[in-house]
Amino acid sequence: MKGLIQRVRHARVEVGGEEVGAIDRGLLLLLGVSGDDDRTSAERLLHKVLNYRVFPDERGRMNLNLMQAGGGLLVVSQFTLEADTGRGLRPSFTSAGSPEHAEALYDYFLERARVQWDKVASGRFAADMQVSLLNDGPVTFMLET
């Protein structure tokens, strides 16, 4: 499972002109699911996302995690993170999970995130989404399990 996190001042997701998820200060998580991922992968990635220290402390050092900073988490499914770009000029998605597998793990990830943190918003799985954000820093990290 892969997660690209971006520290944001705000972020929102629209589907068909309708806002389906939004946060103020926090993390935008683009979430990719491979065919080999399972609930254990989801739990490990969620632990990293919630506890990764990317927010500044009182001295300006990245020393606080999402919950310590009181930020929101916006989770957006992103199957293109699983692309193999090593050969040619067209990505291959053979390692990406099937839509059914990926949606089940995406839903599980969201369910577990909402149990552990009360400031969780999401996009809509497999929808044509428009994501807007104001990257803070910029601070962007790829997390993998």
Check which CATH number belongs to the domain holding 16 and give it. 3.50.80.10
Percent of the chain with pLDDT over 70: 100
The confidence score (pLDDT) of residue 3 equals 98
The single-letter DSSP state of residue 114 is H
144: in domain = no
Residues with active-site annotation: 78-80
75: in domain = yes
**Tally of CB atoms within 10 A around 92:** 13
The confidence score (pLDDT) of residue 44 equals 98
The confidence score (pLDDT) of residue 78 equals 95
**Which residues in the chain come in under a pLDDT of 70?**
none
Report residue 3 CA to chain centroid gap: 5
Q: Are the C-beta atoms of residues 79 and 39 closer than 8 Å to each other?
A: no
142: in domain = no
Burial (0-12, 13-18, 19+ Cβ within 10 Å), 49? buried
89: in domain = yes
Residue 81: which residues within 8 A CB-CB, separation 6 or more? 2, 4, 30, 31, 32
Phi, psi of 81 (to 5 degrees): -65, -20
The confidence score (pLDDT) of residue 131 equals 98
The confidence score (pLDDT) of residue 117 equals 98
145: in domain = no
Residue 108 structural domain: 2-134
Q: Say how far apart CA 36 and CA 101 lie, in whole Å.
A: 10
Overall number of domains in the chain: 1
The confidence score (pLDDT) of residue 70 equals 98
143: in domain = no
